Amino acid sequence: MIGLKRKTAGLLGMGLALALVAAACGGTSPGPSASSPTASGQPTRGGVLRTAISSFGFTGGFDPTDEYLGLAWDFYGAMLRNLVSYKHIGGAAGNALYPDLATSMPEISPDGLTYTFHLKSGIKFGPPVNREITSQDIAYAFERINDKNAGAEYGFYYDGVIKGMTGQVNGIKPVSGIETPDATTIIFHLTQPTGDFLYRLAMPATAPIPVEVAKCFPTGGGYGRFVISSGPYMIQGSQDLSLSQSCSQMVKNPISGFDPTKQLILVRNPNYAQSTDNLRSNYVNAIDIQVDANVSDIFNKVAAGTLDSSLADPPPTTTLTQYLTNPSKKPYLHSDSGDRTWYITMNLLTPPFDDVHVREAVNFIIDKAALQQAWGGPVFGQIATHIMPPIMLNNALTSSYDPYKTPGETGSLALAQAQMKLSKYDPKHDGKCDIASACTNIVMINRNYAPWSTMEPIVVQDLAKIGIQVVPRELETGAAYQTIDTTKNNIPIALNAGWGKDYADPFTFAQPLFGSAALIPVGNTNYSMVGVTSAIIKKQGLGVTIPKGLSVPSVDSLINQCEGQAGATRQQCWVNFDEYVMTKVVPWVPYLWATNLTITAPSLTKWVFDQFSGYISLTQVAVNNNISVSSLG
């Protein structure tokens, strides 16, 4: 979705330009001081990982039930444990699942409908809960997902899959398809075989949640300031939260180490037992994430050594140039596959984008090469020509598939006008959007900083060439997403959107982005409204209407068809799906398959990328900076 979420290996399928740049900066391999071990052969234990970001941009207030931002998932990797999880490392190995809270991988019934897990003993919640985690704590997490008031943004992964889960239950109630016969056993009953069910159990919303605290936050978002650790790190100050106070008192006193506008400080969870966890190394004593709206300042601090690493912001062009051209700096620039597509999204319900020919014209007119340069050039990613990054399809569909190809990917006025002439919005047949009420003063949501602000004039000018006059509205990252994922806003077009995988399967692009199950009032990720019907609008209370005479295309049957396949047949099904969406539905202008660029300081003595979250692996990196935890806060 979204600020961004999700991610698979190195730079495969990312093109020669990227490969050359990756070679120049060492690919995913860090340099001398930033290599995996230190000179002594072992990573340094201790110190504080210091990093910063221009804005957290959380989509659900950091509440695990509701939160759908990839960066938040990076933090959760250090704070939360699931029945099964990842090693939080890079490449294909980073997509492998292992038991985490569970003693082993589950017992699965022959019909694929029943999954039985047994929990390890001795795993406790962090302060102030301080008790052993039980199967009911996991079941409670699913009960929150199932509550229609909780705003679970990716509840569609469980609705209709686990018996009794619909996402429409009013309040916290037991789920009929989840059994907890004792404190260490949990059993899931599915409605149909679901080959990627274990991946879904590794998502943050399914981590155990203690009712003692979360009961005070029945709707989505509120628990984010009070997240209780089940993993190696906790929010600083968690021990000061009192369970004896009333919910009204608790709401007024969030845990001190997290302020969404300033910082998130994670410190070691004193109740965490390393002996129960072979997935995380947990070298650092604390993780200090500061908010700094000045992106250049962040990278200047990394260069000066007062920060150990950047986090999620793309480096400014001047900074990137230094690290690409200066031999002493090259080792500290890391390029990793983001398994991510950046795109312009168009709303199929709003004029003039309710006409497929207009959407095709937009695909032809956009100068993708200029957008790539606005990001900083090929080092930031390969020009996208369809929905899913090639690596998600095992390179079975690459950039050679390009249904809106133009010379040099710079856009084509002639091809765009030819499509516009077929549209109902071009009564003059002059290749322009001629109906003023539909073609002028169109709100276009965007982020308020580079590279999005740098791309903005390019898109505005390109659209104007075919008579589409947009009015940009620049917002902070979180506000931009919250604006377009609230369906009642019915935003016509947005430039801020990007999507990375939720887990290593194309289903995580198809269902959240184009499935009708993703259409919810708040937290919607199907921004184009693909598959919306009057019945869905009524059931979900979406606050939109379908224009008279408009037939909105649906791809639900195609998604279901592919989800029921396996192996090569499944892969080809997803290839066909991508081609169909690009040519028959046309909801987007995909323009970049992104890489993640991170710049580190020599004080970072072990660099590891987390393929699951798509950011620095907080539980596997190490520093040597002699910073004490007592100095934080």
Pairing assessment for the beta strands 84-85 and 98-99 based on DSSP bridges: antiparallel
Percent of the chain with pLDDT over 90: 82
How many distinct helices (H) and strands (E) make up the chain?
A: 18, 22
pLDDT for residue 310: 97
Helix, strand, coil percent content, the chain, rounded in steps of 5:
30, 20, 50
- pLDDT given for residue 218 in this prediction: 83
Pick from 179-188, 273-282, 394-403: least confident: 394-403
Q: Identify the structural domains of the chain with CATH numbers, from first to last.
A: 31-292+596-631 (3.40.190.10), 339-594 (3.10.105.10)
Using H for helix, E for strand and C for coil, what is the string for 197-220?
HHHHHCCHHHCCCCHHHHCCCCCC
**HSE toward the beta carbon, residue 323, CA cutoff 13 A:** 31
Q: Is the pLDDT of residue 179 over 90?
A: yes
In sign, the C-alpha dihedral spanning 439, 440, 446, 449 is positive
The DSSP call for residue 186 is E
Report the pLDDT averaged over residues 81-99: 94
Beta strands in 434-587 (DSSP E): 442-447, 470-475, 493-494, 498-500
The DSSP code for 590 is E
Whether residue 325 has pLDDT greater than 70: yes
- What is the pLDDT confidence band of residue 30, given thresholds at 50, 70 and 90? very low
Mean pLDDT, rounded, for 28-42: 39
3-state secondary structure of 185: strand
Cα-based distances in Å from 88 to 7, 36, 240, 308, 609: 11, 15, 30, 19, 7
Joined together, the tokens standing for residue 440 give 């002028």
Of 119, 84, 83, 94, whose CA–CA distance to 28 is shortest? 94
pLDDT greater than 50 at residue 15: no
203 close to 505: Cβ distance less than 8 angstroms: no
Q: Which residues contact 461 (CB under 8 A, 6 or more apart)?
A: none
* Closest listed residue to residue 288, CA positions, set 261, 260, 308, 313: 308
Sign of CA dihedral 246, 248, 249, 255: positive
Pairing of strands 178-182, 114-118: unpaired
User: What pLDDT was estimated at residue 16?
Assistant: 27
The arithmetic mean of pLDDT across residues 526-543, rounded, is: 96
Q: How far apart are CA 568 and CA 556, in angstroms?
A: 21
469-511: per-residue pLDDT in tens?
A: 999 999 998 899 999 999 999 999 999 999 989 998 899 999 9
Weakest mean pLDDT among 33-47, 59-73, 211-225, 342-356: 33-47
The residue written with tokens 């596997």 in the block is 620
Q: How far apart are CA 451 and CA 496, in angstroms?
A: 10
Give phi and psi for 62, each to the nearest 5: 75, 10
pLDDT at residue 37 above 90? no
Distance, CA of 232 to CA of 126 (rounded, Å)? 9
- 536-551 burial, b at 16+ Cβ within 10 Å, e below that, comes to bbeebebebebeeeee
Mean pLDDT of 541-565: 93
Taking residues 320-340, report their average pLDDT: 93
Q: What is the mean pLDDT of the chain?
A: 91
Q: What is the pLDDT of residue 18?
A: 31
**pLDDT reported for residue 41:** 53
Statement: residue 27 has pLDDT above 50: no
Pairwise CA distance, residues 201 & 198, whole Å: 5
pLDDT tens figures, 555-608: 999 999 998 787 889 899 999 999 999 999 999 999 999 999 999 999 999 999
Residue 154 CB contacts under 8 Å (≥ 6 apart), including other chains: 68, 203, 205, 502, 512, 525
In whole angstroms, give the CA distance from residue 281 to residue 85: 14
With left for phi above 0 and alpha for psi between -120 and 50, is residue 288 left, alpha or beta? beta
Q: Which of 587, 270, 567 is nearest to 396 (CA)?
A: 567
Alpha helices, H only, 110-269: 135-146, 197-201, 211-214, 247-251
Q: Comparing C-alpha atoms, which of 277, 178, 171, 256 is closest to residue 215? A: 171
Query: How far apart (Å, rounded) are the C-alpha atoms in residues 136 and 125?
Result: 13
pLDDT of residue 91: 84
Q: How confident is the model at residue 92 (pLDDT cuts 50, 70, 90)?
A: confident
Count of CA atoms in the C-beta half-sphere (13 A) of 204: 32
- The length of the chain is 633
Per the structure block, which two tokens stand in for 24? 């120049």
Tally of CB atoms within 10 A around 418: 15
What's the mean pLDDT in 386-407?
Answer: 93
**Following DSSP, what letter does each residue of 370-407 receive, concatenated?**
HHHHHHTSGGGEEEP-SSS-GGGGTTSS-TT--TT--G
pLDDT, position 626 = 87
Would you state the structure tokens that stand for residue 150, as one six-digit string? Answer: 């909780």
Tokens of 424: 């109902």
Confidence check: pLDDT of 19 > 60: no
* Neighbouring C-beta atoms of residue 410, cutoff 10 Å: 12
Nearest CA-CA partner of 355 in 433, 446, 459: 433
